[in-house]
Amino acid sequence: MARIGIAGAGIGGLAAAAGLAADGHRVTVFDRWDEPRAVGSGLVVQPVGLAVLDGLGAELRPRGRAITRMSGHEARSGRVVLDVTYDVEGRGRTGLAVHRAALHGVLLAAARAAGAELRLGAAVTGREGGRLLTAGGPTEPFDLLVDAAGSGSVLSPLRARTLPFGAIWGNVPWPAGTELPRDELRQCYLRADRMLGVLPIGRPEPEGPEMAAIFWSMPRGGHAAWLARPLEAWKAEACTLWPAMAPFLGGVTAHDQMTMARYSHGTLRRPWDDGIVHLGDAWHRASPQLGQGANMALLDAHALRLALRTGPVAEAGARMWNARRLHVAAYQAMSRAFTPQYQSDSRVLPMLRDHVLVPLSRAWPARRILPALVRGTMVPPVMAGLAEGGTAAASRIGGARPDHGYPPAP
């Protein structure tokens, strides 16, 4: 059993802490916040991510909304430009849309229940051998350091490319006067330079109201201009593009209800070094267009857990990478290819999207490939060799074929 120091009590760090502590390792998690917290709005946990949560005993389903479909239309033509049904094969599979704080909350509870120690108010500034350097001085030595400090990690050598578009996100109560379904992510586009969307996220607080996450994309330098613009002018523009958005915008009464998220893209070729492993956004960053970042962090944590179960600590990083690299490379490549079709200044790409890609996506076999892409299983999420005994088929998570109901990891 190893002494493991984790930098970052976010999604990947807490999932790793919960799994590794449950396996008997001595785990300490460091975070810069004085209170553990999740900044942000809604996100979709895909079936692969739910499988990892099941393996940790983290019950998220009551805190969110099952999502059966993601769809989008072009504002002017009304043309459908995105339409993915999760469960084309009729096996009852869905994504789960949640408030980020709900996901963070169940992971925090799982990490604590498994016996992980949390040290808060401990901003990590670097490392020296097996010790993390924090504002309060160097930590005790660890056998393995896990860098789960997200997109701003000071431990990760990744220099990601800032993407030209980001988005403002906010949470509003689900309005009474809407006809939008409560089990679909709906989006509206104007070319690729405007995107607005509504994601039902259930009840983040068990006694609280049912909520929706709403978003509006904008160039990364456009936030200051948006803040300077009267709120009502923005709402009017949004409602002209997509009248169905109106009841949701009624819940936005101040600019600071919407938070700007900036996106970047990049992947570390080798997410480990002597005594340290990088996971989640510290290893790979992408726009949230494919809705995979949190799932990828969960899968990395799961692969690291299996790597430590089946091999020596010194090889854990390399083994985690080997199990995950195909999935990471494939999703990073697809995110890179798809993001500009939905978020860019290009006039050509949205035309290509509307007139070539979308018609193609309706043809067989794309009708079946796209749901697998969104579910996170287009390529094996964790390769064979790490699955228990090393004999499971390549696409298994903890011994279960991801296409068959995702039972928990053993």
Ligand X SMILES: Cc1cc2nc3c(=O)[nH]c(=O)nc-3n(C[C@H](O)[C@H](O)[C@H](O)COP(=O)(O)OP(=O)(O)OC[C@H]3O[C@@H](n4cnc5c(N)ncnc54)[C@H](O)[C@@H]3O)c2cc1C
Enumerate binding residues for ligand X (CB under 6 A): 7-13, 30-33, 40, 43-44, 123-124, 148-150, 152, 154, 169, 261, 280-282, 288, 291-295, 297
Cβ 279 to ligand X shortest distance, Å: 7
Whole-number minimum distance, CB 12 to ligand X, in Å? 3
Q: How many CB atoms lie within 10 A of CB 296?
A: 29
Between 169 and 392, name the residue whose CB sits nearer to ligand X: 169
CB atoms within 10 A of CB 205: 12
Please, what is the end-to-end C-alpha distance for the chain in angstroms?
A: 18
Q: Which residue is nearest to ligand X (CB)?
A: 10
Q: How many helices (H) and strands (E) does the chain have?
A: 11, 22
Please state the closest distance from residue 78 (CB atom) to ligand X, in A: 25
CB-based contact 147:140 (threshold 8 Å): no
**Residue 287 Cβ vs ligand X, minimum distance, rounded to whole Å:** 8
Q: How far is the CB of 93 from ligand X (least distance, A)?
A: 16
Measure the CA–CA gap between 160 and 202, rounded to whole angstroms.
33
For 77-83, which contacts have Cβ atoms below 8 Å and span 24 or more sequence positions?
77/354, 79/354, 79/358, 80/358, 81/189, 81/350, 81/353, 81/354, 81/358, 82/187, 82/342, 82/358, 83/358, 83/361, 83/362
Distance (Å, whole) CA 34 – CA 161: 30
Quote the least distance from Cβ 390 to ligand X, whole Å: 27
Residues 110-130, buried b or exposed e (16+ Cβ, 10 A)?
bbbebebebeeebebeebeeb
**Nearest to ligand X of 291, 380 (CB atom):** 291
Decide whether 354 or 377 has the Cβ nearer to ligand X. Answer: 377
Residue 100 phi, psi dihedral angles, 5° rounding: -55, -35
Residue 138: CB atoms within 10 A of its CB come to: 14
DSSP state of 163: P
CB 391 to ligand X: min, Å? 29
Write the single-letter amino acid at 16.
A
Instruction: Name the residue among 49, 102, 118, 58 with its Cα closest to residue 297.
Output: 49
Place of tokens 């900036």: 262
Pick the closer one to ligand X by CB: 149 or 249.
Answer: 149
Minimum gap (Å) between residue 304 Cβ and ligand X? 12
Q: Which is nearer to ligand X, 67 or 383 (CB)?
A: 67
Rounded to 10 deg, the angle between the 11-22 and 47-56 helix axes is 40
Least distance (Å) between residue 410 CB and ligand X: 24
* Nearest to ligand X of 51, 124 (CB atom): 124
Nearer to ligand X, 32 or 73 (CB): 32
Q: Which is nearer to ligand X, 111 or 124 (CB)?
A: 124
Q: Looking at beta carbons only, is 292 or 339 nearer to ligand X?
A: 292
